[in-house]
Structure 1
Amino acid sequence: MSDRPRKQPGPDHPITVTPTGERVVVTVAGKVVADTQNALSLREATYPAVQYVPLADVDRSLLERTGTQTYCPYKGEAGYYTINVDGQRAVDAIWEYADPYDAVAEIKDHVAFYPDRVESIRIG
C-alpha cells in the first residue's frame, strides 16, 4: 500500500475533463506524431488546459518508454515516453496515466505532450 497522499478535486483544486471538440495535431521535427479528432481537454485549477490524445491516434513506432515516473495526488502515477524522429529525440516529451484515479478516469489510454518538448500542438 502506498503512503502517498491521494486527493480529490474540489472547489480549491477543480479538475474537469471534456472533449476538445476540435482536431489536435502534434508534430516533432516536421513529422506528425499524433493526429486526432478525439482529444480530451483536462483543466486543472489555474493551470493551462492540457490536451490528452488517445494513444491509438499516436504513431507509437516513434515512441520509446523511459524509466521516468512522477506522481500527482489527483491523477496518480505517470509514466513517460521519448519521441524519436529520424535521430532527433524529444526526451520524456509524453506522459500518461496508465491507471488514473477515478476523478480523471477518462484520460486512461490517452497521452499528453509537453509543449516545450515538441515542435507544435495545433488545435483546430
Structure 2
Amino acid sequence: MSKSPGHRQHPEHKVLESRVPHTMKVEVDGVTVAQSDDVIRVDEDQAPARYYFPRSDVRMEMLAPSSVTSDCPFKGHATYFDLKAGAKPLEGAVWTYESPYDEHLALRQRVAFYDDKYPQIRVQGG
C-alpha cells in the first residue's frame, strides 16, 4: 500500500507487533469463534492489547460484513464484521485491515475482536 502518515507525523507513537508463542482462542457465549497458534499481538499507545487471528483460523461463517469502517493513521483503513453469535448479532465486533500501511503488512488477512466493547467476547491465552 504505502507508508503510514501516522508514523511519519508522530514517530513517538508506538504500535508494536509481536507473535504470540502459544495458542489463542476467542469464545462468544461458550462457542469457539477462532483458535490459532499464529496470532499477532498489537500493543499500541493508549489502547488495549489486540490479537489478530488469521482468517483461516476463524469461523468466518459467523461473521457478516458490516457498513462500519474506520481509518487509523498508523495501520490503515479498517472494515468491520458483525458477529453472529447468540440471539442478537454483535454489530461491528470484528475488524480487519485489507490493505494496511507498509509498517503493518503482517496484519493483512487477519481479524481482531472488540472484547472490551462486548464482554461476551472472551479472548483467551494472551
Shift in Å at residue 106 of structure 1? Answer: 0.6
What is the SS of the residue equivalent to 2:81? strand
- CA shift in 2, pair 1:86/1:99, >3 Å: same
Report the equivalent of 1:48: 48
TM-score (norm 2): 0.86
Shift in Å at residue 52 of structure 1? Answer: 0.6
Unaligned runs of 5+ residues in structure 2 are none
AA in 1 matched with 2:62: L
Shift in Å at residue 33 of structure 1? Answer: 0.4
Unaligned runs of 5+ residues in structure 1 are none
Report if aligned partners of 1:41, 1:49 keep a CA contact under 8 Å in 2.
yes
Where in structure 1 do 4 or more consecutive aligned residues deviate above 6 Å? none
Shift in Å at residue 11 of structure 1? Answer: 4.9
User: Between the two proteins, what is the percent identity of the paired residues?
Assistant: 27
TM-score (norm 1): 0.88
Structure 2: distance between partners of 1:119 and 1:7: 29
Report if aligned partners of 1:76, 1:99 keep a CA contact under 8 Å in 2.
yes
Would you say 1:27 and 2:52 are equivalent positions? Answer: no
Root mean square deviation of aligned Cα: 1.8
